[in-house]
C-alpha cells in the first residue's frame, strides 16, 4: 500500500493497526476481543479493523478457523510499527515497576519476568509542579535546597529550563543565580518551594546542555577473544567499538552508569568488561549540587 494511503487513516485507526501488528509480531495471533478490550470499541468495529487490515495486507494475516483468530503470515511485513526489542522490554519493565498496569500494556502473553528493584525517590508532586511551571513560564524559582556541600539546607534562586534522568534520579537543569552558573539540582533535595521571579539567563547559553559528545567504548583488552565477542554482542558493537551520544551536562552520570568513572585497572577485566577508547576527549565532570 502506498505510504500516502496510510497517512489518510485517522489517528485511532492507525493506532489500532499498529496494535494489530504488535500482537501479530510478538504473539503470533490476534482476535476481535483483543481490540475490544484494549481500545473499548464495539464487536463490529473490531471485526472491521481486522478484516480491513487482512484485506489490505493479505500476506500479513491468515485466519485460523480452529483458533478463531488471525495468525501471523509467513511473509509478515509490518506497515505501522518498527519492531523493537527495547520497546517490548521497556513495557515489561514499566509493568514490573507499576508504572503501567498489565491492561494498559500491549503485551498479552507475559513471560516470567523481574527487574532489579530501585529505591523510591522522594520527589514531591508539588515540587515537580512548581519546577515545570518555572520551565514553561519561564521564571526563576526560589527554593530551599539541601546540597551535599553544605550541612544545612539553604535558600537560593534557580532558573529551571529542563529535566534530566540519570538512570536513578530526576534532576532539573537550571541556572543558579547564587553561583551564576548552570548546574543540576536533584528534585528530591528541594526541601521547599517559594516565589517566582524574573529570569536572568538565556537557557541557550547552557553550552553543556546543548552540546553533545560521543563516547566510544570497547571490550576490556585483557578479556579472552570469546569474552570480548560476548561483550561486543552485549553492547551491539561493530569491529570492537560502539558509540554513545551523550549531552555534556549528563556525562558524569553516563560514565558512572557504565562503570567508566574509575581507573579500569582498579577492577578485574571480567568485572570492568568495557573501557573508554577515547579518554583524551572526556572533559572534566561535575556531580550534582
Q: Which of 208, 154, 168 is nearest to 184 (CA)?
A: 208
Q: Quote the pLDDT of residue 163.
A: 96
Instruction: Give pLDDT tens digits for 198-241.
Output: 999 999 999 999 999 999 999 999 999 999 999 999 999 999 99
Provide the pLDDT confidence category of residue 121 given band limits of 50, 70 and 90: low
Cα–Cα distances (Å) from 55 to 1, 15, 47, 52, 217, in that order, read: 11, 18, 12, 5, 47
CB-CB contact of 141 with 173 (8 Å): no
**Strand segments (E) across 154-262:** 154-165, 170-176, 181-186, 190-197, 212-219, 242-247
Per-residue pLDDT at 116: 79
What are the respective helix, strand and coil percentages of the chain, to the nearest 5?
40, 25, 40
The CB density around residue 112, as the number of other CB atoms within 10 Å, is 4
pLDDT band at 287 (very low <50, low <70, confident <90, very high): low
| Least confident window among 32-41, 50-59, 255-264 | 255-264
Contact call for residues 139 and 133 (beta carbons, < 8 A): yes
Give the percent of the chain with pLDDT over 70: 93
What's the average model confidence in pLDDT over 90-103?
88
Residues, the chain: 289
Q: How many CB atoms neighbour CB 276 within 10 A? A: 17
Task: Please report the pLDDT score of residue 73 as a whole number.
Answer: 94
Grid cell locating 162: 529542563
The percent of residues in the chain predicted with pLDDT above 90, rounded, is 71
Whole-number mean pLDDT of the chain? 90
Note the CATH architecture for domain 3-83: Orthogonal Bundle (1.10)
Per residue in 48-80, pLDDT (tens digit) is: 999 999 999 999 999 999 999 999 999 999 999
Cα dihedral across residues 193, 195, 200, 202: positive or negative = positive
| Predicted local distance difference test score (pLDDT) of residue 286 | 62
Residue pointed to by grid coordinates 538512570? 167
CA distance 263 to 277: 13
Segment 145-155 mean pLDDT? 89
CA distance 186 to 183: 10
Q: Which residue has the higher pLDDT, 264 or 180?
A: 180
Long-range contacts of 118-122 (CB under 8 A, 24+ apart): 118/168, 119/168, 121/168, 121/169, 121/170, 121/187, 121/188, 122/188
Amino acid at each position: 500500500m502506498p505510504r500516502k494511503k496510510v497517512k489518510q487513516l485517522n489517528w485511532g485507526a492507525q493506532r489500532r493497526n499498529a496494535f494489530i501488528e504488535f500482537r501479530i509480531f510478538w504473539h503470533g495471533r490476534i482476535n476481535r476481543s483483543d481490540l475490544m478490550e484494549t481500545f473499548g470499541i464495539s464487536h463490529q468495529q473490531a471485526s472491521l479493523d481486522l478484516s480491513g487490515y487482512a484485506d489490505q495486507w493479505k500476506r500479513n494475516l491468515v485466519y485460523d478457523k480452529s483458533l478463531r483468530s488471525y495468525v501471523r503470515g509467513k511473509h509478515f511485513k509490518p506497515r505501522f510499527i518498527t519492531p523493537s526489542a527495547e520497546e517490548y522490554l521497556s513495557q515489561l519493565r514499566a509493568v514490573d515497576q507499576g508504572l503501567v498496569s498489565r491492561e494498559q500494556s500491549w503485551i498479552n502473553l507475559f513471560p516470567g519476568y523481574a527487574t532489579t528493584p530501585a529505591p523510591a525517590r522522594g520527589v514531591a508532586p508539588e515540587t515537580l509542579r512548581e519546577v515545570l511551571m518555572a520551565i514553561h513560564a519561564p521564571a526563576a524559582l526560589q527554593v530551599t535546597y539541601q546540597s551535599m556541600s553544605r550541612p544545612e539546607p539553604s535558600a537560593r534562586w534557580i532558573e529551571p529550563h529542563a529535566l534530566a534522568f540519570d538512570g536513578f534520579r530526576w534532576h532539573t537543569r537550571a541556572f543558579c543565580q547564587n553561583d551564576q552558573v548552570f548546574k543540576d539540582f536533584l528534585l528530591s533535595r528541594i526541601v521547599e518551594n517559594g516565589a517566582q521571579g524574573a529570569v536572568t539567563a538565556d537557557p541557550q547559553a547552557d553550552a553543556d546542555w546543548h552540546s553533545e559528545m560521543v563516547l566510544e567504548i570497547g571490550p576490556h583488552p585483557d578479556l579472552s577473544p570469546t569474552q570480548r565477542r560476548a561483550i561486543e554482542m552485549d553492547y551491539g558493537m561493530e569491529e570492537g567499538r560502539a558509540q554513545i551520544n551523550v549531552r555534556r551536562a549528563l556525562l558524569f552520570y553516563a560514565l558512572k552508569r557504565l562503570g567508566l568513572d574509575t581507573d579500569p585497572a582498579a577492577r578485574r577485566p571480567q568485572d570492568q568488561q568495557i573501557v573508554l577508547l577515547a579518554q583524551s576527549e572526556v572533559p572534566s565532570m561535575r556531580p550534582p549540587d
